[in-house]
Chains A and B, each alone.
Chain A
């Protein structure tokens, strides 16, 4: 039997029927509570399939001890909140049951409306929080389904998808390479949320973003007093990712002395917190990523060869966006839909001129850059269809990526001329001299280029 979303099912396990009726009366004053009474421990246990949220348990039942019933309830589902009801003289036993997993206790002398409501409300909050966490985890799993999180039909991406499926089904270390902005962290999350470890934590750390002195403590944790400022014991990322996935981004930036410690941790599957002697076992999948060529770093001696082989695992290389053909448009459409939805802009689409412009660009910042361009385009667009002029390419790398754009020779010429004009405050005689062409050639080229704003004479 299903309860409405906010409904709470409560079991009262109490052999004193009169007292049970009183408790039931109090609890059913809230219409969200569905309350059932059971006179014995066995009756309660036989009905656990009804999935109660809270059990009010008399510690002294005719057929079983409160201890035994509590244990069976928590084995069935540790999230069921259990309130122990005892006599005043039995408080010591009730407290003992708290240590064994009961969530709260109440003496029968104090079982008035206010106390009962307070306890139940406290447990409800924790139950709803638990429900919320579960819902969020389910949403995350859905969000990171391969078909949802990663878009693309290009052969290069189809190859990536096949590798991702293999990675998700196994427990192997995964090494992700690719230029900045190709979605390396997204790959790591997708592997995690599609694997059997999805109920554990996904813990990410960017090696290059953490100051070198702090990285060791971030990864391995520290004991209280291990160094100045270590006021309390702190768990490291390895411990936090236990039963989940640890994502080490920009692994190529790690210093050699820390690489040795990382290697030992991966080999032994255990770590020692800074300043501590105790070894802590961990069970996490490791995913690493870098935009650098690790084998080159090994050749240069800045990355340990043994660690390189330990981390290589299943290599997944993410192609740059410029090598993914029409994926640019698939991704652009995806980002456009997201932006329109988030900003309540209504349905929007890409016009043909915008599509042509996107397809002719090299995207040195890859998917991250495409997303930013489309988001801005959607906001700047006057209507519902994004046009060429709505898309602004502002990549700081555009000079170095000059030749990656596919253009005609005429278009390249105009681009060169415009570059120098911009640099020399549109002073045509100077530009003509620099480029070794006539002023009239420049005027003619500018006239042909409709986009060029004509300078006042």
Chain B
């Protein structure tokens, strides 16, 4: 799984405005743990609707930061939650997803200048 951020999109829209990029990265560091905590709770509760919701919510963030493989994983979880909510793969993939996000935080911190 590719966990390195691709900031091409952010650099393009901001002409490399580092203040803006820092703001976005800090927002990720502030907000993503809250979402992951909610997702973790939903996994514990086997609340498939909430798992799907949180997966849906993180997609646009992951797309913006160029974490495309993680975004695809979130999309897969979201789709399974809607289409086959009893599929045990949902819980397994969610655990995997949260583990990858944990590994992303240091990469993000490195990019904040």
Q: Which residue of B lies closest to A60 (CB)?
A: B56
Evaluate contact between B20 and A19: CB separation under 8 angstroms.
Answer: no
Tell me if B31 counts as interface (CB < 8 A to partner A).
yes
Evaluate contact between A19 and B61: CB separation under 8 angstroms.
Answer: yes
Binary per-residue interface labels of chain B (8-22) against chain A in the complex, 1 for a CB within 8 Å, 0 otherwise: 011011100000100
Known contacts A21-B23, A25-B14, A108-B63; A89 and B79 CB within 8 A of each other: yes
Output the least CB separation between A294 and chain B (Å): 70
Evaluate contact between B28 and A25: CB separation under 8 angstroms.
Answer: no
Evaluate contact between A18 and B59: CB separation under 8 angstroms.
Answer: no
Q: Which chain A residues numbered 116 to 166 have a C-beta less than 8 Å away from chain B?
A: none
Known contacts A87-B59, A108-B63; A22 and B10 CB within 8 A of each other: yes
Evaluate contact between B56 and A17: CB separation under 8 angstroms.
Answer: no
Evaluate contact between A18 and B56: CB separation under 8 angstroms.
Answer: no
Tell me if A208 counts as interface (CB < 8 A to partner B).
no
Known contacts A19-B60, A25-B14, A62-B53; A89 and B24 CB within 8 A of each other: no
Known contacts A16-B61, A21-B23; A26 and B56 CB within 8 A of each other: no
Tell me if A185 counts as interface (CB < 8 A to partner B).
no
Tell me if A450 counts as interface (CB < 8 A to partner B).
no
Known contacts A108-B63, A109-B63; A22 and B57 CB within 8 A of each other: no
Binary per-residue interface labels of chain B (46-70) against chain A in the complex, 1 for a CB within 8 Å, 0 otherwise: 0000000100111111011100000
Tell me if A112 counts as interface (CB < 8 A to partner B).
yes
Tell me if B27 counts as interface (CB < 8 A to partner A).
yes
Evaluate contact between A22 and B13: CB separation under 8 angstroms.
Answer: yes
Output the least CB separation between A30 and chain B (Å): 13
Binary per-residue interface labels of chain A (274-303) against chain B in the complex, 1 for a CB within 8 Å, 0 otherwise: 000000000000000000000000000000
Tell me if B75 counts as interface (CB < 8 A to partner A).
yes
Residues of chain A within 8 A of B24, CB atoms compared? 18, 21-22
Residues of chain B within 8 A of A16, CB atoms compared? 57-58, 60-61
Tell me if A253 counts as interface (CB < 8 A to partner B).
no
Known contacts A60-B56, A89-B79, A113-B12; A18 and B63 CB within 8 A of each other: no
Q: Which residue of A lies closest to B15 (CB)?
A: A29
Output the least CB separation between A100 and chain B (Å): 21
Question: By DSSP majority rule, is chain B's interface helix, strand, loop, or mixed?
Answer: helix
Question: By DSSP majority rule, is chain A's interface helix, strand, loop, or mixed?
Answer: helix
Q: How many residues from A make CB contacts under 8 Å with B?
A: 17
Evaluate contact between B57 and A112: CB separation under 8 angstroms.
Answer: no
Q: Which chain A residues numbered 17 to 35 have a C-beta less than 8 Å away from chain B?
A: 17-19, 21-22, 25-26
* Bound-complex Cα distance A25 to B23 (A): 11
Evaluate contact between B64 and A19: CB separation under 8 angstroms.
Answer: yes
Q: Which chain A residues numbered 27 to 81 have a C-beta less than 8 Å away from chain B?
A: 60, 62
* Bound-complex Cα distance A16 to B65 (A): 13
Residues of chain A within 8 A of B10, CB atoms compared? 22
Evaluate contact between A18 and B64: CB separation under 8 angstroms.
Answer: yes
* Bound-complex Cα distance A60 to B55 (A): 12
Evaluate contact between B13 and A113: CB separation under 8 angstroms.
Answer: yes
Q: Which chain B residues numbered 31 to 50 have a C-beta less than 8 Å away from chain A?
A: 31
Residues of chain B within 8 A of A104, CB atoms compared? none
Q: Which chain A residues numbered 287 to 337 have a C-beta less than 8 Å away from chain B?
A: none
Tell me if A15 counts as interface (CB < 8 A to partner B).
yes
Q: Which residue of B lies closest to A14 (CB)?
A: B60
* Bound-complex Cα distance A26 to B59 (A): 19
Known contacts A21-B27, A26-B13, A113-B12; A15 and B57 CB within 8 A of each other: yes
Known contacts A18-B61, A21-B23; A112 and B9 CB within 8 A of each other: yes
* Bound-complex Cα distance A18 to B28 (A): 7
State which of B13, B61, B63 has its C-beta within 8 Å of the C-beta of A25: B13
Residues of chain A within 8 A of B60, CB atoms compared? 16, 18-19, 87, 108
Q: Which of B23, B59, B60 has the largest count of A CB atoms less than 10 A from its CB?
A: B60
* Bound-complex Cα distance A205 to B23 (A): 63
Output the least CB separation between A61 and chain B (Å): 10
* Bound-complex Cα distance A87 to B60 (A): 8
* Bound-complex Cα distance A112 to B65 (A): 13
* Bound-complex Cα distance A21 to B12 (A): 15
State which of A62, A89, A109, A112 has its C-beta within 8 Å of the C-beta of B13: A112
- Contacts beyond the supplied A19-B60, A22-B10, A112-B12: 12 A-B pairs with Cβ under 8 Å: A16-B60, A17-B27, A18-B61, A18-B65, A19-B61, A25-B14, A25-B20, A60-B56, A62-B57, A87-B75, A108-B60, A113-B12
Rank and list the top 7 A-B pairs by shortest CB-CB distance, nearest first. Answer: A19-B60, A18-B61, A18-B27, A108-B60, A16-B60, A113-B13, A17-B31
